[in-house]
Amino acid sequence: MRIEPEQSVTAGLVMRAGARTTAEQRSFAEILAVDDRARAWMGGVDQAQQAAEGLVAMTLIEPLLREAREMRSSEGPFGLTEAERQFGALMDARTAGRMVKAWNMPLVDQLARQMREEARTVETTGHEVSG
């Protein structure tokens, strides 16, 4: 009696395990595809969150950082350097953005929620909400 490699017990187990792995990989790929579609559909959510973070950073945090930076005396060892004078506003903007992201401020969440609601209203009715 001749046993073919495909008929051996070990080969059968490996083939079945391989089939299961392939099915699991396909299932995983489908999950990733669903996640990508959801992320693409929710792109507006991310845009609203980013816009709200930018608004809070620019209108609330940056002015405070600028004022604190400008309050330092311009004379002596702790005065502003030339680089700080030239790039201070850029540093303030970057620091403000990082602070807003790190703090998870309820104000940002509320603004993002309002922006999403406005976007949905404009999308469904075609008219902006007057405020």
Q: Cβ neighbours of residue 49 under 8 Å, at least 6 residues apart?
A: 108, 112
| Whole-number average pLDDT of the chain | 77
pLDDT of the residue at 17: 53
Distance (Å, whole) CA 47 – CA 100: 15
- Let me know how long the chain is: 131
Rounded mean pLDDT of 29-44? 58
Residue 45 · residue 116 · CB < 8 Å: yes
Asked whether the predicted pLDDT for residue 20 surpasses 80, the reply is: no
CA atoms within 13 A on the CB side of 61: 24
Instruction: Quick: pLDDT tens for 3-13.
Output: 555 555 555 54
Q: Which amino acid is at 54?
A: G
Residue predicted with more confidence, 37 or 107: 107
Asked whether the predicted pLDDT for residue 51 surpasses 90, the reply is: yes
Give residue for tokens 């940002």.
108
Q: What is the pTM of this model?
A: 0.58
What is the separation of C-alpha 4 from the centre of its chain, rounded to a whole number of angstroms? Answer: 55
Coil, helix or strand at residue 126: coil
Asked whether the predicted pLDDT for residue 66 surpasses 70, the reply is: yes
Percent residues over pLDDT 90 in the chain? 33
Dihedral angle at the C-alpha atoms of 98, 104, 110, 111, nearest 10 degrees? 10
Instruction: Quick: pLDDT tens for 68-119.
Output: 888 876 677 777 788 888 888 899 999 999 999 999 899 999 999 999 899 8
Q: pLDDT tier at 125 (50, 70, 90 boundaries)?
A: confident
Rounded mean pLDDT of 51-61? 96
